[in-house]
Structures are given as structure tokens and as C-alpha cells.
Amino acid sequence: EAQVTQNPRYLITVTGKKLTVTCSQNMNHEYMSWYRQDPGLGLRQIYYSMNVEVTDKGDVPEGYKVSRKEKRNFPLILELPSPNQTSLYFCASRPGLSTDTQYFGPGTRLTVL
Amino acid sequence: GQSLEQPSEVTAVEGAIVQINCTYQTSGFYGLSWYQQHDGGAPTFLSYNALDGLEETGRFSSFLSRSDSYGYLLLQELQMKDSASYFCAVRSSSNTGKLIFGQGTTLQVKP
């Protein structure tokens, strides 16, 4: 089954404790993104990657890091989580720039205390 | 700045037709897409317009007018399961494929 998976789905952590949210897709997509969703603000792009070893900042990259060492994986790293990073996070992938059809993962609800 | 405007809430009855509007102001425009999100779930792609006019996919249609920086999603024969949030998104860059999302419209379908 073609899908985007994220882990963990739910996480409660404390300020300053490094964490990684994994994202994996099995559709051989080139393009992957991370979004955060907050009430009243819609989906805001954090980082995106157009291919292996090619990543760039989205609209709200502060406090986040990403890596793209393999085509299928695009982990999101919070090295020093803070309470303002409490949010619902979605990973998404799409075949490439020829289409705007994105496939979203199930989401990760993160709470930073 | 770049922005997309959608109504925050829309209510309609089962079997009716509802239109959700989206106006945009972006530095570039390379297409308008629509996504549906049920409460707590992942957004799912509904439709895409790159050129002016109407695109139809079953009960859902999407329209675009680039000269007016405006589009809408039309949902016909509403069903209870259509109760969800609907987001419009503009592709603002051809090189990066960057998508800018609206804040979403919550549609409530009543019996």
C-alpha cells in the first residue's frame, strides 16, 4: 500500500530534550515536506526536500533541522524543543514538481512542557 | 506578504450544494489545489487547477480565475461525511514547488 508513515504519532516531552520525528514514504517520491498545523494558522511549511541531500527552509524553520540521506526518509529533528513547538506535525511527499498532489502522513501530535 | 483568504466556517444541510471561496495574494502563482481534512486526520488531496475554468471530480468541482486571483470548491449532493475542514493551497514557485495554505474552512453538514 502506497503510504507516508510517521513516528511517533503522539509525543509528550520536556523543554530541551532532543527528539526526532521520523517520516518514511514507499512511493519513490522525490519531493518531501514537513508542515506544522496550529489552530487558526492552517498548514505552514517547515522544511522541504527536492531530492536526496537537497533540503531548504520553508516558512517557519527556526528550531528545526532535517536531513535527507535516503530518498524514502525525511526525519524532523528538534534539538532543543520549546513549548512554542507544541503542535500537530505532518510529513508529506509528492512525485516531483510536475504535480501538486501531495500525500500526507497521519500526523504527529507533539506537546513540549 | 503572501496570503490566502477563506471563510472560517460554512454550514449546509445534507443534499445541498455549498461553495467555499479562496482568494489569494502571492508573489507567484502556478496552480491552486484543494485538500480535505477530517478532524484529527491527515489532509487528503481533492483537486487542482492550473488554468482558468472548472475541473470536475465526481461530486466535487473546483474553479479558478487567475485574473481575479480567486477560486472556489463546489461540493454537490452534500453528505454527512463531507463535514470536514477544507484548505486551498497556492503553488507560489515553479522552481521549488512551494505550497502556501489557507487557514481552512470548517464545513458542517446538518441532517
What is the pLDDT at residue A100? Answer: 78
Which tens digit of pLDDT belongs to each residue from B25-80?
988 899 999 999 999 799 999 999 999 999 998 999 999 999 999 999 999 999 99
Q: Which residues of A fall within a CB distance of 8 Å from B102?
A: 42
User: Is a pLDDT exceeding 80 seen at residue B1?
Assistant: no
Selecting from B42, B103, B104 the residue whose C-beta is nearest the C-beta of A105 gives B42
Return phi, psi of residue B109, to 5°: -100, 125
What is the pLDDT at residue B97? Answer: 73
Contact between chains at B99 and A44 (C-beta distance less than 8 A): no
| Residue appearing with cell numbers 534539538 | A79
Grid cell, residue B44, equals 487528503
* Banded pLDDT at B98 (limits 50, 70, 90): confident
How far is the C-alpha of B90 from the C-alpha of B92, rounded, in Å?
6
What is the pLDDT at residue A65? Answer: 98
What is the pLDDT at residue A97? Answer: 76
Mean predicted confidence (pLDDT) in B76-98: 90
Kindly give, in sequence order, each residue whose CB lies less than 8 Å from that of residue A106, ignoring residues fewer than 6 positions away: A4, A5, A6, A9, B41, B42
What is the pLDDT at residue B28? Answer: 87
* Banded pLDDT at A75 (limits 50, 70, 90): very high
Contact between chains at B33 and A105 (C-beta distance less than 8 A): no
Number of CB pairs < 8 Å for A and B? 58
How far is the C-alpha of A72 from the C-alpha of A18, rounded, in Å?
23
Grid cell, residue A58, equals 520553508
Which tens digit of pLDDT belongs to each residue from A13-68?
999 999 999 999 999 999 999 999 998 888 999 999 999 999 999 989 999 999 99
* Banded pLDDT at A98 (limits 50, 70, 90): confident
Q: Which of residues 50-89 of A touch B (CB under 8 A)?
A: 50, 56, 58-59
Work out the mean pLDDT of chain A and round it to a whole number: 94
What is the pLDDT at residue A10? Answer: 97
What is the pLDDT at residue B20? Answer: 98
How far is the C-alpha of B75 from the C-alpha of A31, rounded, in Å?
30
What is the pLDDT at residue B13? Answer: 97
Taking residue B110's Cβ as centre, other Cβ atoms within 10 Å add up to: 11
Task: Report which of B17, B40, B32 is spatially closest to residue B87, judged by C-alpha positions.
Answer: B32
Q: Which residues of B fall within a CB distance of 8 Å from A32?
A: none
Contact between chains at B91 and A58 (C-beta distance less than 8 A): no
How far is the C-alpha of B46 from the C-alpha of B56, rounded, in Å?
10
User: Is a pLDDT exceeding 90 seen at residue B96?
Assistant: no
What DSSP line would sit under B35-59, residue for residue? EEE-TTS--EEEEEESSSEEEEETT
Q: Which residues of B fall within a CB distance of 8 Å from A40?
A: 103
Grid cell, residue B60, equals 466535487
Selecting from B33, B43, B96 the residue whose C-beta is nearest the C-beta of A100 gives B33
Taking residue B48's Cβ as centre, other Cβ atoms within 10 Å add up to: 18
Percentage of the residues of chain A whose pLDDT score is greater than 90: 87
What is the pLDDT at residue A41? Answer: 85
Nearest-Cα residue of chain A relative to residue B46: A101
